[in-house]
Amino acid sequence: MTANILDTLHFLGTNDRNKSLFESNWPLPYGISYNSYLFTDQKTALLDTIEYGSDRSYFEDVTRILDGRDLDFLVILHMEPDHAGMIGELLQRYPHTTVVTNARAVKLVELYFPDIDKDRIREVKEGDKLDLGHHILQFVMTPMVHWPESMMAYCITENILFSQDAFGTFGTLDGGIFDDEINLEYYKDEMLRYYTNIIGRFSPQVQKALQKAAALPIRIICPVHGPVWRTDPKVVFDWYSGWAASKGEKGVVLAYATMYGHTQRTADYIARKLAVNGIRNIRVFDVSKTHPSFILKEIWKYNGVILGSCSYNTGMHPNMQHLCHEIEIMQPGRKKVFLFGGYSWSGGGLKNLQLFAQNMQQRHQWEIISPGTELPGYPAMKDLEKMDQDIKAYTATL
Ligand code: FEO
């Protein structure tokens, strides 16, 4: 899959519709794309590659676009193997190519491709430039967006930002490659899921990177996943700025674990009361049906989180544990919290949710509005109604 961005700048990408889980963790119901970029200036330069084995035509495309020329530079912006996978084979095919990357990436190159001749690597640091003829690339260090070695390249001649994972998204490029060829709302949703699953925990570093980028005139953004933003890059820039700020709007994500529907009865009772109390953004999930990937995306949007778990072997249900683990890792910002549980024959679901929430309160400024109630068996209406005042008080804090 190729496209011309400029006469001397080419998109080379592939769609991966086979992989079920990105990083063996995050569902890919709509696939994902891997993008790289090739300059055919006075010097030729490839920026990043794609995942190994994801596209048999990748090297055919590189060869065709080079049209008999050698590849002068391979610029490595990010070493995660979904972009670095083809480096070894590329450098075998192009034995005269110089690798351009930063010192942290060099260490990862040595780990992942120990056979690469170190004399082929040119180290760059913040502000260094690579002159291709017409295009001059300047390097911007953006550590932890997404890995420690991550950096961006900015073409100061044409005002193009090569942003690697930043501004990337899940979802294949189904025909449209540029922002003026796609449905933006479709990609906005998948981009938020990508952000909250992959980059979100590094939001402070994302904000620093955005501050650096905001000082630059940017005409085109070229990320390594998803569309190229050539018409209005401010759209995606603004989306990212909002997500990195982690300021949820008024609303609640209610996630529950249930085995036989008892805890679900409590969940639906609470959700109904929220609506009656005036909350309009309410998203309810059964954690055994919906993967944390999708729940995290919704949690990022809103300022309220309600978690409820049946008791399972004296603890919380394992699928609720999975969600809590991902929340703790990805750090979706400050939240107002309400908890509840189902006692079963032991109790323990709520107690473990409380421990989780207390940890989030201490480390990530969550606010526990209600430590919750653990209802036995099939919740009686009189017991559900005892929560009414707490739900009302919680609603008032949102
Ligand atoms: Fe798309 Fe962090 O790799």
| Beta carbon of 165 within 6 Å of any ligand 1 atom | yes
Say how many Å lie between the CA of residue 383 and the centre of ligand 1.
48
User: For ligand 1, what atom is nearest to the CA of residue 168?
Assistant: 1
233 and 88 share one domain: yes
* The pLDDT value given to residue 247: 86
Tell me which of 245, 268, 303 is where a domain ends.
245
* Distance from residue 285's CA to the centre of ligand 1 (Å): 28
* Domain encompassing residue 194: 2-245
pLDDT tens digits for range 29-67: 999 999 999 999 999 999 999 999 888 899 999 999 999
Percent of the chain with pLDDT over 70: 100
Exposed, middle or buried: residue 277 (CB in 10 Å: 0-12, 13-18, 19+)?
Answer: middle
For ligand 1, whether the C-beta of 51 sits within 6 Å is no
Quick one: tokens of 118?
Answer: 């170190």
Nearest CA to ligand 1 atom 1: 165
Is 80's C-beta closer than 6 angstroms to any atom of ligand 1?
yes
- Which residue do the tokens 């990195």 mark? 244
CATH number at residue 107: 3.60.15.10
* pLDDT single digits (tens) 186-230: 999 999 999 999 999 999 999 999 998 889 999 999 999 999 999
- Whether residue 14 is found in the same domain as residue 33: yes
CA of 82 to the centre of ligand 1 (A): 6
Residue 95 has pLDDT above 90, yes or no: yes
Q: What is the pTM for the complete model shown? A: 0.95
What pLDDT score was predicted for residue 73? 98
Residues 11 and 138 in one domain: yes
- Residue that is last in its domain, among 245, 268, 293: 245
Q: Please tell me if the CB atom of residue 22 comes closer than 6 angstroms to any atom of ligand 1.
A: no
**Per residue in 270-310, pLDDT tens?**
999 999 999 999 999 999 999 999 999 999 999 999 999 99
Tell me: do 239 and 306 sit in the same domain.
no
Q: Which of 182, 215, 245 is the last residue of a domain?
A: 245
Is 167 close to ligand 1, i.e. is its CB under 6 Å away? no
CATH assignment at residue 330:
3.40.50.360
pLDDT (0 to 100) of residue 7: 97
- Give the count of domains, the chain: 2
Q: What is the pLDDT of residue 56?
A: 83
Give pLDDT, residue 54.
80
